Amino acid sequence: MEATMNVATPPSRSLSVHVSAETESADNSTAEDPMSPTGRVFEEMGVYIIVVMGLSMPVNLPVFCAGIETELLTRFPRFRSIQVMDGSKDGKPRWVQTVVNVDDHIIVPRLDLAAVDSDPEKAVEDYVASLSLLPMDRRRPLWEFHFLDFRTSEAASTTVLRLHHSIGDGMSIMTLLMASSRSTADPARLPAMPPPPKRTGAIYQRCPQPPRLWSSDYLAWLWSYVVLAWHTLVDIVLLAATVLFLRDPGTMFTLVPDGGQSRRRKRLVHQSLRLDDVKLIKTVLNCTMNDVLVGVTSAALSRYYFRKSCNINTKRICLRSILPVNTRPVSSRQTYVTKVETGNRISNIICPFYIALHNDPLEYVRTAKRSMHRKKSSLEVMFAQMTVDFLVKYFGPKALTMHYLNYGSNIKVILTVDDEQFPDCHQLLNDFAESVKLVRDAASLKTLTTRSRMTE
């Protein structure tokens, strides 16, 4: 039984948001801000980001609201801005600052208590799924907090942030939330952030200075640019073919059109994976954690596909996935503790993705490693954004989206699925956990075999 809510329609109370000459001129640096091309695509499609946060104690609503007022509204102009069309011939959208009443963005729904007591996890899941169908009032800034004040197996209470994707991408929103948090013991202390990564440049970055002329290192350096140019040319041709005629084979992962008669409900489900398991696989195969996760995804979707389809033809199926890439010059969140850059600064790479059955589970990760290494030797990310924006705008998102989030000793795998096409989405989620276990066991066996040979 689904929980019932009192937010099925937009609130009818009067709005505090208005745009005036005084408001627009309050801060000339941010009062009028043109929307980025990526932001315009998200604005036209109505794409939202939903962040589900489990709290270790019941929410203190007055304190939370005061923090929103102090941190978000004061420091980040996008949270006090609305989207309006300018007066030009093209009618491009822009950001205009306005007056915000925090109470208009705070929602405490009334849920079916029997449904909550029976299965609190499902109550949260159903409520979050319902947000994918509820419109937001464009007369006020497009963000809102939802507070679910009941205990689940993982949290004492749950807070859900929903905001329009044109406000920012996942990296900026995650950084914003962390930078806005404060310690209860020392509210003046800035939050601890992850250490800087080893790589701070673009994924395609090469050594800027050539080695000694005509040495072996120089020839290798020169060859790397030849490979970069060739891979870029091939990828640009494939991008053009994708727009013009290239299509993936039809599978259960392709969104089934409904004639555009109604919005499709999206369900968010998640499961924890052990970070140590991923690190073990990474060490054994000498690859990156991203390689491992892409390989695990391929293994999980392959298990699900062949089980559901009962397909006896185990020939490899090649699909294409869109992988977001952060285009900020420095990828460390530490840089943005005091000044978080909102907005969308992401591009994408279109990566081949394989549905296949392998006798050796490690082959999924090896294949992912080869694909990702190939993409790192290309400038595709500099050209892909326009193509991806076109595909998403005119063909819509697919039926399945995956996110991985590292938190403490766990990695959360988060699936956003079309509710009609994946009624058994929890089985798909279990395939991820089972795939990690199979790949980890194969990696452990490989390690034991290697050690045994070394001692003989």
Is residue 48 within a helix (H) or strand (E), and if so which, with residue range? strand 48-55
The reported pLDDT for the residue numbered 352 is 83
The reported pLDDT for the residue numbered 404 is 92
pLDDT over 70 (residue 17):
no
Determine the Cα–Cα distance for residues 276 and 282; give it in Å rounded to an integer: 10
Q: What is the largest CA-CA distance in the chain?
A: 82
The reported pLDDT for the residue numbered 340 is 55
Average pLDDT, integer, range 198-223 = 67
Q: Which residue has the higher pLDDT, 440 or 218?
A: 440
pLDDT over 70 (residue 295):
yes
Q: Which domains does the chain have, with CATH numbers?
A: 24-167 (3.30.559.10), 216-455 (3.30.559.30)
The reported pLDDT for the residue numbered 391 is 65
Burial of 21 (0-12, 13-18, 19+ CB in 10 A): exposed
Q: Which residue has the higher pLDDT, 236 or 257?
A: 236
Give per-residue pLDDT as tens, 25-43: 334 334 456 566 565 556 6
pLDDT over 70 (residue 406):
yes
Name the amino acid, one letter, at 154: E
pLDDT over 50 (residue 164):
yes
pLDDT over 70 (residue 411):
yes
- Torsion sign across C-alpha atoms 118, 120, 122, 123: positive
> How would residue 91 be classed by pLDDT, with cut points 50, 70 and 90?
low
Average pLDDT, integer, range 59-81 = 86
Q: What is the mean pLDDT of the chain?
A: 79
Give per-residue pLDDT as tens, 333-392: 545 544 556 667 777 788 888 899 899 999 999 999 998 888 888 888 777 766 766 666
Name the amino acid, one letter, at 358: H
The reported pLDDT for the residue numbered 281 is 96
What is the pairing mode between strands 400-407 and 410-418? Answer: antiparallel
Mapped onto helix, strand or coil, the DSSP state of residue 229 is helix
Determine the Cα–Cα distance for residues 242 and 348; give it in Å rounded to an integer: 14
